[in-house]
Structure 1
Amino acid sequence: MAAPDNRRRSSVPWVAMYHSVNDCTEDPYRITVTPERLDKQLTWLRRRGLHGVSMARLLAARAEGRGHDLVGLTFDDGYADFLTEALPVLRRHRCTATLFVLPGRLGGDNAWDPLGPRKPLLTADGIRRAADEGVEIGSHGLTHVDLTKADDLTLKKETVDSRADLSALLGTEIDGFCYPYGTIDRRAMDAVREAGYGYGCAIDPGELNGLHALPRVHIGQDDNTLRLFLKYRLHGLRRRPVEGLR
């Protein structure tokens, strides 16, 4: 039997959005998956001939008309459990990923979530360790502010200053941005582009399109193989092709 035509099914890149990987007994915002669930989800990808990679690798391949078997793996907020719980699972499946962090909250916690447990965030050293393991580091803003509600000064700090801080921390240019809460409008998208980022990840960008308004799919603890299959198929049907990618 001929191999499935991933090109036909993948008119828009499939990007999975994760957050914390840990115990999810208390998880009111549905931001946590257990390491065991992540392992099963990545196993599902591999069995379908798909491979989880960083956004940098995914976008580079798609810009050349390749990589239709690649899935972007993104982890928002920069939780400390990325190193201890997520990274070993990624290694086991030979996957890479993009980690979006908050340089204004290094070593802090998820104070923007009023309910649920406090989850520690990576320190500067933790972010360096992730980068040394081949993880792409991107900005999630400075402090996890909804950019669509930010004044001009805050918008500039959250985009320009966060990129500068991470570049200084890692000694390299930062190409990726992730909109806090996934919310995006034209003003926020323009600010991210003008700050020098090569791409920006949202959730549902609506009418906005292009490399600075990339849609993603939330992946949670309840996403078993059937739900993953449906999300994978429906994503390609619901989303428009991204301008600038093939």
Structure 2
Amino acid sequence: MPVSADRGPSAAPRSDAPRRRPGPPPWVAMYHSVGDCSHDPYRVTVSPHRLDRQLGWLRRRGLRGVGVRELLAARARGEGQDLVGLTFDDGYADFLAHALPLLRRHAFGATLFVLPGRLGGDNAWDPCGPRKPLLSAEGIRQAAAEGIEIGSHGLTHQDLTRADDTLLRAEVNDSRALLSEVTDAHIHGFCYPYGQADRRTVDAVREAGYSYACATTPGDLAGPYALPRVHIGERDTAWRLHLKRRLHCLRLRPVDGV
């Protein structure tokens, strides 16, 4: 008597089920501070005027800026080709004053990666740059209430590829726990300080319970815990944005699982 192919959990999976091929890497834009660019040695600041024009450029091309979690969820459904991830690193206080109103104007979302170990402090890790205030816990809650996804940028902005095991766990695990308390919500995303990641830091982020992590140029690393991003600054006019978007898709291999 032949055995049924549907005899229970131990049955072999069907081999004729279509498998979705890896798609092109999602385009994720990396911003930092939004404000005065007159003294910006690290080129991490974009003026409100320039940001407004950049967001308008996206919208005129039928693209919509969203947080990274929303982008990845759409990609998992086989959708989201018209979505662009917008990320703002470090949690500068000027996000509320300058970036958030522009995001509202264009009906865009974003992910804000913050440092719960420096709440209300400043960017002390930039020795040559002007001191810029960081968001307080209340400021982070205000951004979250406006629909902005909150993610972790570590506790204090350390290069995690040089951290020992104790510091790595604190920066990755403790920052997630603190932000969960601040926002009263689950923290899904992590952003590697300085964009630096290696296999050890990727494993630590995955084991801490994050759903994804953003880098800058992750090298041989790939997948949802090493998402590449494109730096966007004050010099990025419409033509430069066009080139950056094209090059981002051409230079990177397809991303499996994204």
TM bin (shorter chain): over 0.9
1:193 paired with 2:234, answer no
What is the match of residue 117 of structure 1? 130
Give 1:230's match in structure 2, choosing from 231, 243, 254.
Answer: 243
1:243 positional shift: 1.6
What is the match of residue 52 of structure 1? 65
* Percent of residue pairs bearing the same amino acid type: 70
How far apart, in 2, do the equivalents of 1:145 and 1:242 lie?
Answer: 27
Give 1:106's match in structure 2, choosing from 110, 115, 119.
Answer: 119
What is the match of residue 215 of structure 1? 228
In the TM superposition, what are the counterparts of 1:53-202 in structure 2 within 5 Å? 53-202=66-215
1:98 positional shift: 0.2
Deviations 1:105-148 (A, max 9, x none): 00000000001210000000000000000000000000000000
Give 1:205's match in structure 2, choosing from 197, 218, 226.
Answer: 218
Secondary structure at 2:257 match in 1 = coil
What is the match of residue 3 of structure 1? none
1:161 positional shift: 0.3
Secondary structure at 1:71 match in 2 = strand
Q: Which residue identity lines up with residue 139 of structure 1 in the other structure?
A: S
How far apart, in 2, do the equivalents of 1:149 and 1:34 lie?
Answer: 33
TM-score, normalised by the number of residues in structure 1: 0.95
1:48 positional shift: 1.0
Q: Which has the larger radius of gyration?
A: 2
Q: Which residue identity lines up with residue 40 of structure 1 in the other structure?
A: R
Q: Structure 1: which 5+ residue stretches go unaligned?
A: 1-9
Secondary structure at 2:246 match in 1 = helix
Secondary structure at 2:84 match in 1 = strand
Q: Which residue identity lines up with residue 169 of structure 1 in the other structure?
A: V
Secondary structure at 2:65 match in 1 = strand
1:39 paired with 2:63, answer no
How far apart, in 1, do the equivalents of 2:70 and 2:33 lie?
Answer: 22
How far apart, in 2, do the equivalents of 1:169 and 1:53 lie?
Answer: 22
How far apart, in 1, do the equivalents of 2:256 and 2:127 lie?
Answer: 37
Q: Structure 2: which 5+ residue stretches go unaligned?
A: 1-22
TM-score, normalised by the number of residues in structure 2: 0.91
Secondary structure at 2:38 match in 1 = coil
1:27 positional shift: 0.1
How far apart, in 1, do the equivalents of 2:129 and 2:165 lie?
Answer: 31
How far apart, in 2, do the equivalents of 1:164 and 1:230 lie?
Answer: 39
How far apart, in 2, do the equivalents of 1:145 and 1:68 lie?
Answer: 33
Q: Which runs of 4+ in 1 moved over 3 A?
A: none
How far apart, in 2, do the equivalents of 1:139 and 1:240 lie?
Answer: 26
1:240 positional shift: 1.4
Deviations 1:191-214 (A, max 9, x none): 000000000000000000110000
1:239 positional shift: 1.0
For the aligned residue pairs, the C-alpha RMSD in angstroms reads 0.7
Secondary structure at 2:157 match in 1 = coil
